[in-house]
Amino acid sequence: MARIDLVDLAHSYSGNAADPESFALKPVTMTWRQGGAYALLGPSGCGKTTLLNLISGIVTPSRGKILFDAVDITPLSTQKRNIAQVFQFPVIYDTMTVGQNLAFPLKNRGVPKGEIDARVAEIARLLDLTPYLERKATRLTADAKQKISLGRGLVRSNVAAILFDEPLTVIDPELKWQLRSKLKALHRDLDLTMIYVTHDQTEALTFADTVVVMHDGRVVQSGTPAELFDKPAHTFVGYFIGSPGMNIVPAEVRGREARIDGHVIALRRNYNGLPAGARIEIGVRPEFVDVAPPAPGLLSAAVERIDDLGRIRFARVRIGDAKFAARVPAGFSIPDKVAGLVFDPSHVHVYADSRLIEGSA
Amino acid sequence: MDKTINQKAWFLVLPVFLVVAFSAILPLMTVVNYSMQDTFGNNQFFWNGVGWFKELLDPTTDLGERFLASLWRNLFFSAVILAIEVPLGIVVALSMPREGWTVAACLVIMALPLLIPWNVVGTIWQIFGRPDIGLLGYTLNSLGLHYNYVANDLDAWATVIVMDVWHWTSLVALLCYAGLKSIPDAYYQAAQIDGASRWAVFKAIQLPKMNRVLLIAVLLRFMDSFMIYTEPFVVTGGGPGNSTTFVSIELVKIALGQFDLGKAAALSLVYNLIIIIVCWVFYTVMTNAGAERQPAKGVA
């Protein structure tokens, strides 16, 4: 159990001399609280697995330091780091029974037999593996094997953190929910730091207290699910999280007004002094834009289609060349192919070169 | 459902049947035929029933004594070279590089002994070991070791075994290397996380994953060494005395040296049967080793 600090940590698989822009992980400095449930979220190839492998020591960083409770452990091998990791695909020791598989990490560390048995029994109970303890692990289903892998990750009680690298990829959707809630319950019970890598936003948002979004080797935002939803720090976070994602439209912004297609939208804050020459966009989630009958004073848009998601309907519209999604209020029907858009000013954000700009009051 | 009966199908099988008949069945039947008869040359044959088989298994007769002695000798030889080549092959495979240009270099060097024809291997070692002009024999004798494979049983055995190890360990190593290469990196990473020692990694991951190829390696090496002829024949000619006369060498002596076709035929049938039985036992034991009796069932 430990607090983990990353200090200016960066990694390139082609060595330190490589072009900084080509680094798999660009320099990051951040802190993982003891006992936190974190999700590392991002598309494939964004560097999240690299970050995980750096923390566990499978990969040695090109630059920077990793501290466990303020002690620099960067040069230590994986074995000495006291960390657990669960991989995407199940890893099973073929010749061993389920019980021996679970006991393996403890046995290797010379834990007394009585303690091993108690711990294995407990983990097996938590993961519903008790009836299979005496069975050979090879013949089990992929689901069961992955549970054993999870079990081996959880079996040591004193680890600095448990790292999960998309551990539920091979698991059936229904069982996925169960296992995820189980992990969450385990997290509450055991007071362990857990870092969970995924590219699935639902998985990340339901598991973690803090979601760390990565994009192109950079950590672009880290915050609670609500923060990521309400105030994306980067346009990438805006459209990666939420379904449909945030609308991002180029606009001219001056003071408390944004101008799209010559139409003015009111803003909550004052945006004087935006960086000169930057690409200015406004971002607003579809949930905070309503379609209405066309009227003077409303931004008008061409309606392309309506997506009915059951509880909520979204209109896919077009403003000039830009695609846009907006909520269709209940009971509202669109008579012709043109609609007006009503913005909620408190949820319209301004981005300069993809980064959120905090206006002044 | 009624099947259409069409006798024309037999004609389609006929070519294969003929080829197999002439290449395998007829020669084998000839051997069976010979094994029941005695010949005094001149193409004259006399019926002997199962007489040769009785003699073969009876150590008090000349034929039985020679057969059983060469059989034990041969089994001992196979056991020794398996005991050396399999562990050695595993060690070599484990110490080979995983990536980079050295992989190709290693593979080529390893494959070299396998590419050399048997009697060339025999000749190489025959000359290499000679006390008067051979590098190995001369060096050993200069060091004060009285090494002479023509005169000493032990030296002859040592030469034949070292020669076989030199010739065939590569095969085991290459098979094991292929097995090792098929292990995903995640296994090694997981073992690191689990704090496994080098030995634990070998026992828990590498050895089980090499299981299949090791089975093939053991079978191939057993069959080859049990049928070995050329190399020891070239080096020692079966001597000194009969000390390195393996079953196939004995067989050739009887068949071609003495022209005892009946005895040789009976011997070769028994020889063949032993190989088939031993391979079957090996295969059954090794495929069932570690397998569970219970039917596979999922955990959910």
Token pair, residue B16, equals: 């294969």
**Burial tier of A74 (Cβ tally within 10 Å: 0-12, 13-18, 19+):** middle
- pLDDT, position B85: 94
Share of chain A above pLDDT 70, in %: 99
Q: How far is B84 from chain A (nearest CA, A)?
A: 24
Which chain A residue is nearest to residue B299, measuring alpha carbons?
Answer: A144
- A191 versus B174: the higher-pLDDT residue is B174
Q: Give which of B209, B160, B152, B213 is closest to B186, Cα–Cα.
A: B209
> Highest mean pLDDT range out of A102-106, A133-137, A290-294?
A102-106
DSSP A17: T
Q: What share of chain A is helix, strand, coil (3-state, %, to 5)?
A: 30, 35, 40
Nearest CA in chain A to B290: A95
User: Which positions in chain B touch A78 (Cβ < 8 Å)?
Assistant: 189, 192-193
Please check the confidence at residue A174 and state whether its pLDDT lies above 70.
yes
Average pLDDT of span A99-115: 89
Segment B12-31 shows an average pLDDT of 90
Point out the least confidently predicted range of A195-199, B157-161, B260-264: B260-264
Residues of B in contact with A151 (CB under 8 A): none
Looking at the predicted structure, is the pLDDT value of residue A175 above 60?
Answer: yes
Determine the Cα–Cα distance for residues B164 and B148; give it in Å rounded to an integer: 18
Question: Would you state the pLDDT for residue B176?
Answer: 93
Interchain CB distance below 8 Å, A93 and B197: no
How deeply is A211 buried, as exposed, middle or buried, from its count of CB atoms within 10 A (0-12, 13-18, 19+)? Answer: buried
Choice between A109 and A21, residue whose per-residue pLDDT is larger: A109
Residue in B186, B205, B300 closest to A89 by CB: B186
DSSP output for chain B? -PPPP-TTHHHHHHHHHHHHIIIIIHHHHHHHHHHTEEE-STT-EEE-TTHHHHHHT-TTSHHHHHHHHHHHHHHHHHHHHHHHHHHHHHHHHHHS-SSSHHHHHHHHHHHHHHHS-HHHHHHHHHHHT-TTT-HHHHHHHHTT----TTT-HHHHHHHHHHHHHHHHHHHHHHHHHHHHHTS-HHHHHHHHHTT--HHHHIIIIIHHHHHHHHHHHHHHHHHHHHT--HHHHHHTTT-STTTT--HHHHHHIIIIIS--HHHHHHHHHHHHHHHHHHHHHHHHHHHHTT--SSPP----
pLDDT at B297: 42
CA distance A4 to A55: 9
**Residue pLDDT, tens place only, A198-241:** 888 888 888 888 999 998 888 888 888 888 888 899 998 888 88
Chain A interface residues (partner B, CB cutoff 8 A): 53, 56-58, 77-79, 83-85, 87-89, 91, 93-96, 104-105, 108-109, 128-129, 131-132, 135-136, 139-141, 143-144, 147, 149, 152-153, 175
Phi, psi for B40 (deg, rounded to 5): -115, 30
Of all residues in chain A, what percent carry a pLDDT higher than 90? Answer: 2
**pLDDT value at position B1?**
58
Q: What is the pLDDT of residues B24-59, one digit of tens each?
A: 889 999 888 888 888 877 777 788 878 888 888 888
Q: CA separation (Å) from B216 to A259, A354, B107, B223, B283?
A: 75, 60, 19, 11, 9
Nearest residue, CB atoms, B190 vs list A87, A140, A175: A87
CA distance A93 to chain B (A): 6
Say if the Cβ atoms of A140 and B184 lie within 8 Å.
Answer: no
Under a CB-based contact definition with an 8 Å cutoff, are residues A271 and A255 in contact? yes
B122: amino acid identity, one letter: G
Average pLDDT, rounded, for chain A: 85
Q: Which residues of B touch A (CB under 8 A)?
A: 184, 186-187, 189-190, 192-197, 200, 203-205, 207-209, 290, 292, 294, 296-300
Q: What distance in Å separates residue A127's CA from the closest CA in chain B?
A: 10
Q: Return the amino acid letter for B268.
A: S
State residue B289's pLDDT score.
64
Separation in Å, CA of A141 to nearest CA in chain B? 5
Q: Distance from A287 to chain B by nearest Cα, in Å? A: 39
Residue B219 pLDDT level (bands cut at 50, 70, 90)? confident
Reported pTM: 0.75
What pLDDT sits at residue B293? Answer: 44
Over residues A253-280, mean pLDDT: 83
Stretch B87-116: mean pLDDT, rounded?
91
- For residue B37, what are the β-bridge partners? B47
Distance (Å, rounded) from C-alpha A273 to C-alpha A106? Answer: 59
CA distance A292 to A116: 65
Q: What percent of chain B has pLDDT over 70?
A: 95
pLDDT at A68 over 90: no
pLDDT digits (tens, 9 = 90+) for B67-87: 888 999 999 999 999 999 999
Residue B294, pLDDT above cutoff 60: no
Q: Which residue of A has its CA nearest to B205?
A: A93
Is B296–A139 a contact, with Cβ atoms under 8 angstroms apart? yes
Preceding omega of A244 cis (within 30 degrees of 0) = yes
Of A89, A108, A139, the CB nearest to B195: A108
CA B84 – CA B86 distance, rounded (Å): 6
Q: Is A143 in Cβ contact with B300 (below 8 Å)?
A: yes
* CB half-sphere exposure, B274, CA atoms < 13 A: 19
Tokens for A151, please give them. Answer: 């079990």
Q: How confident is the model at residue A1 (pLDDT cuts 50, 70, 90)?
A: low
Which tokens belong to B35? 């094994």
Tokens standing for residue A86? 């669960």
* Chain B residue whose CA is closest to A84: B193
Question: Average pLDDT, stretch A277-285?
Answer: 87
pLDDT of residue B173: 94
**pLDDT band per the 50, 70, 90 thresholds, residue A340:** confident
Any idea what DSSP says for residue A12? -
Q: In terms of Cα–Cα distance, which of A213, A218, A212 is closest to A21?
A: A218
- pLDDT attached to residue B84: 95
pLDDT at B60 over 90: no
**Which of A186, A208, A184, A352 has its CA nearest to residue A271?**
A352
Give the minimum alpha-carbon distance from B260 to chain A in angstroms, rounded to a whole number. 52
Dihedral angle over CA of B179, B182, B183, B186, nearest 10 = 170
Chain A: residue whose CA lies nearest to B200: A108
Q: B208 vs A139: CB contact, 8 Å cut-off?
A: no
Average pLDDT over every residue of A11-27: 81
Tell which wins on pLDDT, B79 or A264.
Answer: B79
Chain B: nearest CA to A84, how far in angstroms? Answer: 6
Chain A residues in contact with B292 (beta carbon < 8 A): 135-136, 139
Contact A347, A230 (CB under 8 A): yes
In this model, does residue B291 exceed pLDDT 70?
no
